[in-house]
Structure 1
Amino acid sequence: MDAFKVEDLGYNGVATDVAPNGSDGGAKQPEQNTSPGRARNELKVELPSSCDPPGPNNPPKQLVWIIFGATGHIGRSLTSCALRHNDLVVAVGQTHVNTPASMKNWHPNCLGTLCDVRSRTTVEAVITKTIAHFGRIDLIANCSGTAIIGACEDQDEHEIRNQIETNFMGTLNILQLSLPYFREQAHGRYLIFSSTSGALGVPGLGPYCASKYAVEGLIEALLYEVDAFNIKATLVEPGLVRRDDPDQPEREKIVGTGLPLYGHFLIKPASEPYSSPTSPAQHYKRMVQWLGDRQPTSVVKSAELVWQLGHCSFPPLRLLLGSFAVESIRDRLRCVIEEGEDWRELNWPSDESPGAGDDKDEKEDPERDEEADDDVKVEAAHS
């Protein structure tokens, strides 16, 4: 009699027959790849069913993407993911970082171009070029951004304005210049990359947080305004995302190499008051330097979820990527709710519940009660 067999989910994500005590139970086991990177790649990630993600019940159609910031941290993985799924992509690099030659020959389904999102002229040129090349635009993802790591006091006016101009005004430029086209075709979708720093203040990222808070408010307001035109938008809030999966070299071939260690974050030397090793203003610098490329959230899986977001039927207002994003934003919201409860009774005497004062006034005003009775009698007489 064969030994009792159980299913074991190996590193390669394949269910294999394994008998207790290490015996094979007469079954031949397939060779397993124990690479953790391989395991990460083959584990399935999917949006919740409430979003109606692409699948057998919602077959994905070929969409035309514009991806601003396509040469950056998450942008290039999203570009690669969309191309792998046979979508058509306009990959937009940065005018002051990339070159026209570096944006060519990425993929047969990809058109590379350059843009500075702070300049409305260059944003408009990207939109015009996309329509001329692919005939339409289905969705726009804005992955562009910049940040300075440093105390609020240490950042000069130029650095602060550049973060606001890039992160907030750049997003606004994209929205204002593409909305007329989306309204005319009666559909469109925006995937706007915010950050966990758009939901909570992070020491060392003050102006960056301010720019992302502004983006969050902008998109929330915009959704009410454009819902009647069948235009959707989602805020993507990543948290501590690894730059690239090392087991995906084909992604490097498609979208190039050479990302800086901290992506779009620039570290500014601290002034003397904020230079101590334990200074709160140095918090984010310490964190990114300690993590390096060991961030807990996979950029490859994040890109896959964002691609599904572009194809799902019911996109959410926010997509939180990674446990750090979920837990930190949840804790922040819990603090806001608890603080609100502290002030809920502020406008009422401590020994009275809301509305008690109104009842007391009514009891202490017999003349008002008599007037009300007279009104009732008059109405009864007329009836």
Structure 2
Amino acid sequence: MTTTTQKTWLVTGAARGLGAGIARAALDAGDRVVVAGRNRDALVMAFGADSDTVLSLALDVTDAAAIAAGVEAAVARFGRIDVLVNNAGYGHLGIFEEIAAQDARTQFDTNVFGLFDMTRAVLPVMRAQRAGRVFNISSIGGLMGGESGSIYCASKFAVEGFTESVAAEVRPFGIHMTIVEPGFFRTDFLDASSIRYGDNPIADYAEASAAIRAFYDARSHNQAGDPIKLGQALVTLANADNPPVRWSAGTDAVGVVEMKATGLKAELDAWRDLSISTDGDFTFREEPKAGGAWG
């Protein structure tokens, strides 16, 4: 079942890529959109001057003061925030040993702590409304790690664990949170203007590093996913009465989810006896509570 009333969206990282596609789809659906990004001029170029349906905000998700001011401005302009899309982020790929420790922290500052801070700022608005939707843009790399994805995938795994946990906390207030796991979409994500690689080369990894870059370079701007179609799908989910906690986008993403599920089951079965052998002979054992919370 779906409910289709006009909504106010706040989309971070909205100047291009998935963020722009999501914002455009929401506007096409008749909703109002607060588009946020580090460069307000780029937002105005993409969406036009501020109007009854669009508000452009300069907002860096690593700046707590800018987040607070942005949320305040959005509520002052449109009275509420119905949908938060935590999209701002980037990918830092490459061999783990070739990535500096500070680069890993910077990846988490944007992809994880920036998302935390945006969510923390918007949830009080949604709780007061007793309604809201939060879409946290993860990646299929948030479900399955792989060579070259150690730092980026770690950041997205964090987003997924965070979302699953907070979703249970805010559901009583009419707020739904959804992890969005895109596969490869045709954006600037793999473009030199966005993607980053480790810059501490190690001879032992030279061949592997070169192959990784060649792999991603060949796919840049050739990805199968359409950002506008993803945006249209999020509009559908934003109007669904009971949206999923986890949703995958693209045939490649669906394939990875199926592969992960099959692999988990096979590995669990292969080692089941050893797993259950660790139980003690106690008279009381704490069990997981409903909703996934642990005592």
TM-score, normalised on structure 2? 0.86
Q: What is the Cα deviation at residue 137 of structure 1?
A: 0.9
Matched residue, 2:286: none
> Residue 162 of structure 1: which of 95, 106, 126 is its match?
106
Map 1:247-326 to 2 at 5 A. Answer: 261=191, 264-269=194-199, 270-276=201-207, 279=208, 284-326=212-254
The 8 Å contact of residues 219 and 235 in structure 1, kept in 2 or not, is answered as yes
**Matches of 2:242 and 2:193 in 1, distance apart?**
31
**Matches of 2:36 and 2:165 in 1, distance apart?**
26
**Matches of 2:276 and 2:174 in 1, distance apart?**
44
**Cα deviation per residue 1:232-252 (whole Å; 9 max; x = unaligned)?**
000110001112xxxxxxxxx
Change (3 A) 1:77 1:284: farther
Structure 1 residue runs without a partner (length 5+)? 1-51, 244-257, 358-383
Matched residue, 1:73: 17
**Matches of 2:70 and 2:222 in 1, distance apart?**
35
**Matches of 1:180 and 1:82 in 2, distance apart?**
23
**Cα deviation per residue 1:334-354 (whole Å; 9 max; x = unaligned)?**
1121111112112679xxxx9
Change (3 A) 1:84 1:293: same
**Matches of 1:175 and 1:64 in 2, distance apart?**
16
Matched residue, 1:337: 265
**Matches of 1:195 and 1:284 in 2, distance apart?**
18
Matched residue, 2:31: 87
**Cα deviation per residue 1:56-90 (whole Å; 9 max; x = unaligned)?**
xx4x2111000011013100111111111221111
Q: What is the Cα deviation at residue 266 of structure 1?
A: 1.8
Q: What is the Cα deviation at residue 125 of structure 1?
A: 1.0
**Matches of 2:263 and 2:249 in 1, distance apart?**
21
**Matches of 2:142 and 2:124 in 1, distance apart?**
27
Give SS of 1:104's match.
helix
**Which amino acid letter does the alignment assign opposite residue 41 of structure 2?**
A
**Which amino acid letter does the alignment assign opposite residue 335 of structure 1?**
G
Matched residue, 1:6: none
**1:232 and 2:176 aligned:** yes
Q: What is the Cα deviation at residue 209 of structure 1?
A: 0.6
**Matches of 1:151 and 1:129 in 2, distance apart?**
41
**Matches of 1:289 and 1:271 in 2, distance apart?**
21
Give SS of 1:204's match.
coil
Matched residue, 1:173: 117
Q: What is the Cα deviation at residue 202 of structure 1?
A: 2.0
Change (3 A) 1:102 1:292: closer
Q: What is the Cα deviation at residue 141 of structure 1?
A: 0.4
The 8 Å contact of residues 91 and 189 in structure 2, kept in 1 or not, is answered as no
**Which amino acid letter does the alignment assign opposite residue 112 of structure 2?**
F
**Which amino acid letter does the alignment assign opposite residue 102 of structure 1?**
A
> Residue 54 of structure 2: which of 110, 129, 137 is its match?
110
Give SS of 2:162's match.
helix
**1:153 and 2:93 aligned:** no
Give SS of 1:333's match.
helix
Change (3 A) 1:347 1:167: closer
Q: What is the Cα deviation at residue 104 of structure 1?
A: 3.1
**Matches of 1:348 and 1:124 in 2, distance apart?**
48
**Which amino acid letter does the alignment assign opposite residue 153 of structure 1?**
E
**Which amino acid letter does the alignment assign opposite residue 61 of structure 2?**
V
**Matches of 1:194 and 1:215 in 2, distance apart?**
7
Give SS of 2:262's match.
helix
Give SS of 2:213's match.
helix
**Which amino acid letter does the alignment assign opposite residue 11 of structure 2?**
I
Matched residue, 1:185: 129
**Matches of 1:228 and 1:154 in 2, distance apart?**
45
**Which amino acid letter does the alignment assign opposite residue 265 of structure 1?**
I
Matched residue, 2:151: 207
Bigger RCO of structures 1 and 2 (CA < 8 A, at least 6 apart): 2
**Cα deviation per residue 1:283-317 (whole Å; 9 max; x = unaligned)?**
65333212232212222211111121112221111
The 8 Å contact of residues 142 and 193 in structure 1, kept in 2 or not, is answered as yes
Structure 2 residue runs without a partner (length 5+)? 282-295
Max Rg structure: 1
Q: What is the Cα deviation at residue 102 of structure 1?
A: 3.2
Matched residue, 1:328: 256
**Which amino acid letter does the alignment assign opposite residue 343 of structure 1?**
W
**In proportion to residue count, which structure has more helix?**
2
**Which amino acid letter does the alignment assign opposite residue 272 of structure 1?**
A
TM-score, normalised on structure 1? 0.67
